[in-house]
Amino acid sequence: MTNDDVLIFRFCRSKCHKNFKRRKNPRKARWTKAFRKSAGKELTVDPAFEFEKRRNVPQKYDRDTWTKSVEAMKKVAEIRQKREGAHITKRLQKGRVLEKERDRKEVERNLALIKHPMAGKRIKEAAGSRVE
């Protein structure tokens, strides 16, 4: 697909191409990479992304550089996976904190349901009998 300013778009599947032709905003469709990155669900800035950029100048084939680059690709994939995992756990941490706070507020609000009305009297009576 070519645009007026001679930008060439390559789509991963027909679904993406159809949405592009309908002029749908990809940041509003929840299944797109654009939405996930704009909503903070995926990493946006990571040095590992620099390796995936297209290079305009082709390099002459060399077996040694080829093997080194394949090994480097594996290492980069491992590093990226660790970073993505850390990003996800960091995102989920916020939810856990909010959930604990919500639970605390619920307990405070419904304390009468949890606490037995006679619980305070028994403790006071026991303390009073010991003093005497």
The whole-angstrom separation of Cα 82 and Cα 85 is 5
Q: Does residue 90 lie in a domain region?
A: yes
The whole-angstrom separation of Cα 26 and Cα 35 is 6
Q: Does residue 64 lie in a domain region?
A: no
Q: How many domains does the chain have?
A: 2
Span 4-33, pLDDT tens digits? 777 888 898 999 999 999 999 999 999 998
Query: Percentage of the chain surpassing pLDDT 90?
Result: 46
Q: Residue 34 belongs to what domain range?
A: 1-42
Taking the CA atoms of residue 76, residue 79, residue 80 and residue 82 in that order, the dihedral angle to the nearest 10 degrees is: 160
pTM, two decimals, is 0.55
The whole-angstrom separation of Cα 64 and Cα 36 is 38
Maximum C-alpha span of the chain: 97
The C-alpha R_g of the chain, in whole angstroms, comes to 29
Q: Which residues pair with 50 in a beta bridge?
A: none
Q: Does residue 102 lie in a domain region?
A: yes
